[in-house]
Amino acid sequence: MTTATTTTNPRPIIPALGKVWTTLEPLSPVIVRVTTGLLLVPHGAQKLFGAFGGYGLEGTAGWLASIGFEPGLLFALLIGLLEFVGGLMLVAGLLTRPVAVAIVAFMTIAFFIHLPAGYAWNEGGVEMPVFWGLMALSLVIRGGGAYSLDRKLGAEF
């Protein structure tokens, strides 16, 4: 017995919106990539420069060392650069997949660090590492997209 499957798009309940969604669909990966990048940049600025109420390299290094990440200064620098420079690279769509892989790895570690605090982000829980990790994973899968430097340069991982 065989069954045939058809792959038709569902009919929009409001037909006029179907054209809107079709027109905007190519922008969806850009929105995810640019938003992910832009929202990571301030976190990197907190760690690198003490901006936005952050603790700077020394404060971040001290905290990282206190939870077992030695040398703390090296880890603070690497994480700060990943969030700040990597975030800017995501915005531009440059080396999207390698940057996103690094963010997925970082957020996996952050998940386990935050796990004892439970779920909610406002209580230091895993909500934000899970969110950022999944956003980065979507970029690993999809790449920089049509509106990226990766595509403009004609090469992506």
Q: How confident is the model at residue 7 (pLDDT cuts 50, 70, 90)?
A: low
Tokens of 33: 């990539």
Would you say the pTM of this structure is higher than 0.85? yes
Report in angstroms the alpha-carbon separations of 87 from 11, 47, 123.
37, 13, 25
Quick one: average pLDDT of 80-99? 98
Q: Which ranges constitute the DSSP H helices of the chain?
A: 15-24, 28-49, 56-66, 72-92, 96-114, 127-142, 149-153
> Residue 80: is its pLDDT beyond 80?
yes
Cα distance between residue 149 and residue 109, in whole Å: 29
pLDDT of residue 2: 60
Q: What is the pLDDT of the chain when averaged over all its residues?
A: 94
Closest-CA residue to 114 (of 101, 100, 127): 127
What percent of the chain lies above the pLDDT cut of 90?
Answer: 85
Each residue of 107-147: pLDDT tens digit? 999 999 999 999 999 999 999 999 999 999 999 999 999 99
The residue assigned the tokens 């892989």 is 101
> Residue 36: is its pLDDT beyond 90?
yes
